[in-house]
């Protein structure tokens, strides 16, 4: 390989140091730069340095390029384009050294030497003679320097001349890799060896195990044992080693310009010599701003993640990963701090940055747990509420600041820092709800779900632009749901998301409750309050895709970690987002742990999985050849299918009673069937077919509905093939569709009559119920996430009547077992009349587990009164009219059956 060499001389010729090494494939400019870097890093005291070289690029960089390159993130401008500079890894190290030394540059000319004589052949490569330009003062001796590249006598040469600054004494350096530290009585003849390569990697933020250098290390020289304690603080002016027991301290010696310090103590010395725990010594730092800080040494603590943890994390079966990864408050040997852990297998280095270190990317480098790809570091002295991120050095040297994928909290967007959070502070009082949850969430239980967006359900009346907090919403929501008869609420995603307009469906912080409405503890109290009121809480969960925000999961370590490398698999064409790589153990394990996290830490009662159809099909929303078939040549995403099955199995096993609900819009079979029968294992599936057919039918003018009668009756052909939930979700009142009341045909009276009719039909149709906020009182405007619902409409009788009708349906639904006990079996349903398309009338019977307990539903989908209309019933008896959508109490004209009707035999 190509050789580089530097010669380092003191001005008085008292010390002379040389070193050389090789680097395969390096060109001349890089070799010169390597010599400059290694020479500067070999100087352990600030010095005036003259660099003499014939490399034009090195001269340019040292004299006028560095500041521009640094300000442009190590790029230079060419015809309007920003191009990465060559050898950026070395120039960053030069930049660090220039903060410590004063460097001058001179160029020299090269005289071609005579051909080597025969006597020199076989004794190694010829050594050219270089005549440097005169750069020394008159009478000052300029030592000769030699540098060569094997087999190339015309290579550039470089010399570094070290001269003492007038303001400080320069200690002679014995070796570029040795440090001489004095003890209290005098020089201690113990030398600690630190590789220049290791120091360079540490200062450049690419050392996989900084513990090899930093922290306490026992050293032995000539039979004498000593303890070397090293610390790294790039912004420091001086550091001391402190013995808290004795109340004494000693200065640490700066052994590298990047900020590496060292103190060596004989083992018999009281100060740290008997140290067995990290708490036995402290480090005091004086920074460049004049501040002082005394702290425990992060590099004196052993790793907290066990080998078993690492095995499970890499296997994707560490279902409690959120207890180990991310940021966790810990106490070790009486020292309180935070243990950080993050997965970044291809990163060159990872550091923790935050308020505690001035967001420095080099102060707290983490240790890589090989071969797991997990980086870990315990930092003492950090408490809850501290802001932090990870600085990830990606392959090629580019450093990006990333959010913690396992963070429990983050700043309010657009700020992106994470917040160290303790999730154990809330004292739960929902024991009664949790004990009865299996029965409450059973498939034979009533379930009327109120879907809402926390940021726009209600706003502060005094400040309509202000979101209400979790604590402000909870009591209002409890009162409303109890009055309206809802059994559950479904929250649109509450995981942290940078773009409010995504409604939460472009998640960055999967484990972080959005801080828009308060803290994680506030959300826990919110759920607790609803549980104590007998109301279940379901959240929308988004494992199908994630956004491309630079601080998020996208190319986290510079490679496709969470996503697929190939955009035909890894990018979603509709939403401009990225698709998870479910076939990678660590990715599927991350998502599974996240699902369990919400059930465990927040007592969530159900997870509604968004966009399941996009997960199941490799060609979803793709045309032609813009997709990659599976190993069998099919379009099914086999890895996603396996993931969904595992998700349902694990959630149901570890949290009995928790619902899993699929938003799946295709005819995929067995979505809500057990995995042991070949299904995906969901508790419920949204009946998107029923929703689309029913709304399409209702949008027809009543006079035309007889031609579309099958749009209503078709749903009963497949109604019992899945455990269906009937959804009128937020998706039906956005993107130009208008509100539900506005989608109804006719004049004002007919619109409200049609919507009441639709709800009555829905509540008696087999399946659990879901409606979106605002639809229950007939909001006219299409939903807007930036404003509150139109609660002022309730001053009008028509809107108030519709709201009363929905409340009536909910309470009736919970009272009548025939409307909910047998939702998913044909035994709970029987047609009475499904063929009267001419009059647009449907009549059917719903049955409870006890077949003698039944309810008859009759729906007239035209505004024509049907006086004396007859239909068959199972028994000759009096039939009580328990609900009439045309009641004046609900805003109708009160046309009905006067409380009931007596059946007669034929």
Alpha-carbon distance 410 to 318, whole Å?
Answer: 24
Arithmetic mean of pLDDT, 238-259? 86
Alpha-carbon distance 212 to 370, whole Å?
Answer: 14
Q: What pLDDT is stored for residue 14 in this prediction?
A: 54
pLDDT at 887 over 60: yes
pLDDT at 44 over 90: no
The answer to whether position 35 is within a domain reads yes
Q: Which residue has the tokens 């207890």?
A: 323
Q: What is the dihedral of CA 97, 102, 105, 106, to 10 degrees?
A: -130
| Together in a domain, 676 and 745 | no
Choice among 82-86, 118-122, 264-268, 615-619 with the minimum mean pLDDT: 118-122
DSSP 185: S
Instruction: Write the pLDDT tens digit of every residue in 210-237.
Output: 999 999 998 876 677 788 899 999 888 8
| Residues 18/175, Cβ–Cβ less than 8 Å | no
Instruction: Write the pLDDT tens digit of every residue in 375-389.
Output: 999 999 999 999 999
Q: What pLDDT is stored for residue 741 in this prediction?
A: 98
Q: What pLDDT is stored for residue 121 in this prediction?
A: 40
| Residues 551/388, Cβ–Cβ less than 8 Å | no
| Together in a domain, 564 and 672 | yes
Kindly indicate the confidence band of residue 905, based on its pLDDT and cuts at 50, 70 and 90: confident
Residue 789 makes CB contacts below 8 A (sequence gap 6+) with: 456, 457, 458, 773, 774, 779
Q: What pLDDT is stored for residue 497 in this prediction?
A: 97
User: Of residues 315 and 50, which shows the higher confidence score?
Assistant: 315
The answer to whether position 88 is within a domain reads yes
DSSP 848-891: -SSTTSEEEEEEE-SSS--TT-----SSSSEEE----TT-GGGT
Instruction: Write the pLDDT tens digit of every residue in 45-63.
Output: 667 777 877 778 888 888 7
Q: What pLDDT is stored for residue 226 in this prediction?
A: 83
Alpha-carbon distance 481 to 41, whole Å?
Answer: 68
Arithmetic mean of pLDDT, 500-526? 97
Picking from 102, 128, 163, the residue at the C-terminal end of a domain is: 163
| Residues 87/4, Cβ–Cβ less than 8 Å | no
Arithmetic mean of pLDDT, 604-619? 97
* CA dist list (Å): 218 to 106, 264, 267, 275, 671: 43, 9, 9, 11, 61
CATH number, domain with residue 227: 2.60.40.10
Q: What pLDDT is stored for residue 11 in this prediction?
A: 59
- Encoded tokens for 794: 């309730």
Q: What pLDDT is stored for residue 866 in this prediction?
A: 92
| Together in a domain, 361 and 260 | no
Q: What pLDDT is stored for residue 632 in this prediction?
A: 95
Picking from 404, 419, 434, the residue at the C-terminal end of a domain is: 419
| Together in a domain, 752 and 818 | yes
User: Of residues 69 and 168, which shows the higher confidence score?
Assistant: 69
The answer to whether position 813 is within a domain reads yes
Kindly list the catalytic residues: 610, 663
pLDDT at 134 over 50: no
Sign of torsion over alpha carbons 54, 60, 61, 62 = positive
Q: What pLDDT is stored for residue 12 in this prediction?
A: 56
Instruction: Write the pLDDT tens digit of every residue in 455-485.
Output: 999 999 999 999 999 999 999 999 999 999 9
The answer to whether position 730 is within a domain reads yes
Instruction: Write the pLDDT tens digit of every residue in 728-782.
Output: 999 999 999 999 999 999 999 999 999 999 999 999 999 999 999 999 999 999 9
The answer to whether position 452 is within a domain reads yes
Please give the tally of structural domains in the chain: 5
Helix H or strand E encompassing 612 = helix 612-616
| Together in a domain, 283 and 355 | no
The answer to whether position 441 is within a domain reads no
Arithmetic mean of pLDDT, 265-270? 63
Helix or strand or coil: residue 225?
Answer: strand
Arithmetic mean of pLDDT, 76-80? 73
CATH number, domain with residue 880: 3.20.20.80
| Together in a domain, 637 and 682 | yes
Arithmetic mean of pLDDT, 134-163? 35
Q: Which residue has the tokens 């455990």?
A: 723
Domain hosting residue 381, numbered range: 307-419
What are the b/e assignments for 223-237, b being 16+ CB within 10 Å? eeebbbbbbbbbbbe
State percent of the chain over pLDDT 90: 68
Which residue from 1, 111, 2, 110 is spatially nearest to 56, judged by alpha carbons?
110
Q: What pLDDT is stored for residue 4 in this prediction?
A: 67
Q: What pLDDT is stored for residue 356 in this prediction?
A: 92
Largest CA distance in the chain: 133
| Together in a domain, 571 and 695 | no
pLDDT at 149 over 50: no
User: Of residues 28 and 764, which shows the higher confidence score?
Assistant: 764
Helix H or strand E encompassing 162 = strand 158-163
Picking from 300, 316, 332, the residue at the C-terminal end of a domain is: 300
The mean pLDDT value of the chain amounts to 86
Alpha-carbon distance 19 to 8, whole Å?
Answer: 9
Q: What is the dihedral of CA 720, 726, 732, 738, to 10 degrees?
A: 120
Q: What is the dihedral of CA 734, 735, 736, 739, to 10 degrees?
A: 0
Give the end-to-end CA distance of the chain in Å, rounded to a whole number.
Answer: 105
Kindly indicate the confidence band of residue 16, based on its pLDDT and cuts at 50, 70 and 90: low
Pairing outcome for strands 158-163 and 48-53 = antiparallel
Which residue from 187, 275, 265 is spatially nearest to 227, judged by alpha carbons?
265
Instruction: Write the pLDDT tens digit of every residue in 818-873.
Output: 999 999 999 999 999 999 999 999 999 999 999 999 999 999 999 999 998 999 99
| Together in a domain, 408 and 451 | no
Alpha-carbon distance 757 to 724, whole Å?
Answer: 21
| Together in a domain, 32 and 142 | yes
Residue 792 makes CB contacts below 8 A (sequence gap 6+) with: none
What is the side-by-side strand order in the sheet with 374-380?
326-332, 335-343, 374-380, 367-369
CATH number, domain with residue 108: 3.30.420.10
Q: What pLDDT is stored for residue 9 in this prediction?
A: 63
The answer to whether position 430 is within a domain reads no
Arithmetic mean of pLDDT, 187-202? 69
| Together in a domain, 667 and 702 | no
- Encoded tokens for 204: 């450049």
| Residues 484/809, Cβ–Cβ less than 8 Å | no
Neighbour count for residue 12 (Cβ, 10 Å): 13
Arithmetic mean of pLDDT, 65-72? 78
* CA dist list (Å): 219 to 191, 223, 228, 273: 8, 10, 7, 12
pLDDT at 556 over 80: yes
User: Which residue spans within 687-785 are E strands per DSSP?
Assistant: 724-728, 768-772
The answer to whether position 440 is within a domain reads no
State percent of the chain over pLDDT 70: 86
Arithmetic mean of pLDDT, 135-164? 35
pLDDT at 153 over 60: no
Alpha-carbon distance 261 to 390, whole Å?
Answer: 24
| Together in a domain, 154 and 198 | no
Residue 887 makes CB contacts below 8 A (sequence gap 6+) with: 805, 894, 896
Give the predicted TM-score (pTM) of the model: 0.81
Which residue from 139, 138, 158 is spatially nearest to 147, judged by alpha carbons?
158
Choice among 195-199, 320-324, 663-667, 877-881 with the minimum mean pLDDT: 195-199
Pairing outcome for strands 659-662 and 606-609 = parallel
| Together in a domain, 290 and 270 | yes
Q: What pLDDT is stored for residue 18 in this prediction?
A: 64
User: Of residues 197 and 600, which shows the higher confidence score?
Assistant: 600
- Encoded tokens for 297: 């040494």
């Amino acid at each position: 390989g190509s050789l580089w060499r530097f010669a380092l001389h003191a001005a008085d010729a008292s010390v002379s140091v040389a070193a050389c090494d090789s680097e395969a494939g390096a060109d001349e400019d890089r070799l010169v730069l390597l010599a400059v870097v290694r020479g500067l890093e070999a100087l352990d005291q600030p010095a005036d340095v003259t660099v003499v070289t014939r490399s034009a690029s090195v001269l340019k960089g040292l004299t006028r390029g560095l500041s521009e390159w640094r300000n442009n993130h190590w790029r230079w401008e060419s015809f309007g384009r920003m191009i990465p500079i060559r050898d950026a890894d070395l120039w960053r190290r030069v930049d660090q050294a220039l903060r410590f030394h004063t460097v001058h540059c001179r160029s020299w000319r090269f005289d071609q030497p005579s051909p080597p004589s025969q006597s020199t052949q076989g004794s190694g490569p010829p050594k050219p003679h270089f005549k440097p330009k005169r750069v020394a003062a008159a009478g000052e001796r300029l030592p000769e320097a030699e540098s060569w590249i094997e087999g190339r006598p015309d290579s550039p040469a470089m010399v570094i001349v070290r001269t003492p600054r007038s303001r400080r004494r320069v200690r002679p350096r014995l070796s570029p890799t040795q440090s001489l530290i004095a003890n209290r009585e005098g020089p201690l003849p113990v030398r600690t060896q630190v590789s220049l390569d290791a120091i360079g990697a540490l200062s450049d933020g690419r050392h996989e195990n900084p513990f090899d250098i930093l922290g306490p290390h026992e050293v032995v020289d000539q039979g004498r044992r000593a303890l070397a304690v090293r610390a790294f603080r790039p912004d420091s002016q001086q550091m001391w080693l402190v013995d808290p027991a004795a109340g004494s301290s000693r200065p640490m010696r700066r052994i590298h310009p990047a900020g590496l310090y060292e103190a060596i103590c004989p083992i018999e010395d009281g100060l740290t010599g008997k140290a067995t725990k990290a708490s036995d010594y402290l480090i005091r730092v004086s920074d460049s701003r004049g501040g002082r800080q005394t702290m425990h040494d992060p590099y004196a603590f052993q790793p907290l993640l066990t080998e078993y943890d690492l095995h499970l994390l890499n296997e994707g079966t560490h279902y409690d990963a959120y207890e180990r990864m991310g940021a966790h408050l810990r106490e070790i040997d009486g020292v309180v701090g935070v243990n950080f852990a993050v997965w970044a297998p291809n990163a060159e280095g990872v550091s923790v940055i935050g308020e505690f270190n001035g967001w420095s990317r080099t102060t707290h480098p983490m240790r890589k747990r090989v071969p797991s790809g997990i980086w870990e570091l315990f930092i003492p002295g950090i408490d809850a509420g501290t802001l932090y991120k990870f600085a990830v050095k990606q392959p090629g040297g580019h450093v990006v600041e990333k959010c913690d994928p396992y963070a429990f909290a983050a700043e309010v967007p657009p700020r992106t820092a994470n917040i160290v959070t303790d999730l154990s502070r809330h004292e739960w009082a929902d024991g009664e709800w949790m004990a009865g949850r299996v029965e409450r969430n059973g498939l034979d239980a009533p379930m009327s779900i109120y879907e809402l967006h926390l940021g726009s359900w209600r706003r502060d009346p005094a400040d309509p632009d202000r979101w209400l907090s979790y604590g402000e919403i909870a009591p209002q929501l409890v009162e409303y749901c109890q009055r309206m008869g809802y059994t559950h609420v479904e929250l649109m995603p509450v995981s942290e998301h940078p773009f409010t307009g995504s409604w939460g469906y472009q998640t960055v912080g999967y484990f972080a409750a959005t801080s828009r409405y308060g803290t994680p503890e506030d959300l826990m109290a919110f759920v607790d309050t609803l549980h104590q009121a007998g109301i279940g809480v379901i959240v929308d969960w988004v494992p199908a895709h994630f956004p491309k925000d630079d601080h998020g999961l996208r190319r986290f370590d510079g490679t496709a970690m969470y996503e697929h490398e190939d955009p035909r698999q890894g990018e979603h064409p509709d939403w401009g987002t990225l698709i998870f790589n479910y076939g990678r153990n660590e990715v599927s394990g991350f998502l599974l742990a996240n699902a369990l996290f919400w059930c465990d830490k927040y007592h969530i009662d159900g997870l509604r999985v968004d966009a399941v159809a996009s997960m199941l099909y490799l060609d979803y929303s793709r045309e032609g050849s813009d997709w990659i078939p599976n190993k069998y040549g099919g379009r099914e995403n086999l890895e996603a299918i396996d993931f969904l099955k595992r998700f349902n199995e694990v959630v149901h096993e570890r949290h009995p009673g928790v619902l899993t609900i699929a938003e799946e819009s295709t005819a995929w079979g067995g979505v809500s069937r057990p995995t042991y029968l070949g299904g995906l294992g969901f508790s419920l599936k949204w009946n998107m077919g029923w929703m689309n057919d029913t709304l399409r039918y209702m949008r027809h003018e009543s006079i035309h509905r007889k031609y579309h009668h099958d749009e209503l009756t078709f749903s009963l052909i497949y109604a019992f093939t899945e455990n269906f939930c009937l959804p009128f979700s937020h998706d039906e009142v956005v993107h130009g569709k208008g509100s539900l009341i506005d989608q109804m045909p006719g004049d004002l009276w007919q619109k409200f009559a049609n919507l009441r009719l639709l709800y009555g039909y829905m509540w008696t149709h087999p399946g659990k119920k879901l409606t979106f906020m605002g639809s229950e009182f007939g909001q006219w405007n299409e939903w807007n996430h930036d404003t509150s619902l139109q609660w002022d409409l309730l001053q009008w009788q028509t809107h108030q009547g519709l709201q009363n009708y929905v409340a009536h349906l909910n309470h009736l639904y919970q009272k009548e077992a025939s409307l909910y006990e047998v939702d998913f079996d044909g035994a709970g349903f029987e047609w009475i009349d499904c063929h009267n398309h001419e009059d647009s009338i449907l009549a059917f019977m719903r049955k409870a587990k006890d077949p003698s307990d039944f309810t008859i539903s009759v729906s007239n989908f035209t505004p024509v009164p049907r006086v004396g209309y007859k239909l068959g019933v199972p028994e000759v008896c009096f039939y009580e009219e328990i609900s009439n959508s045309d009641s004046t109490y609900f805003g109708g004209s009160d046309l009905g059956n006067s409380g009931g009707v007596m059946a007669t035999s034929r």
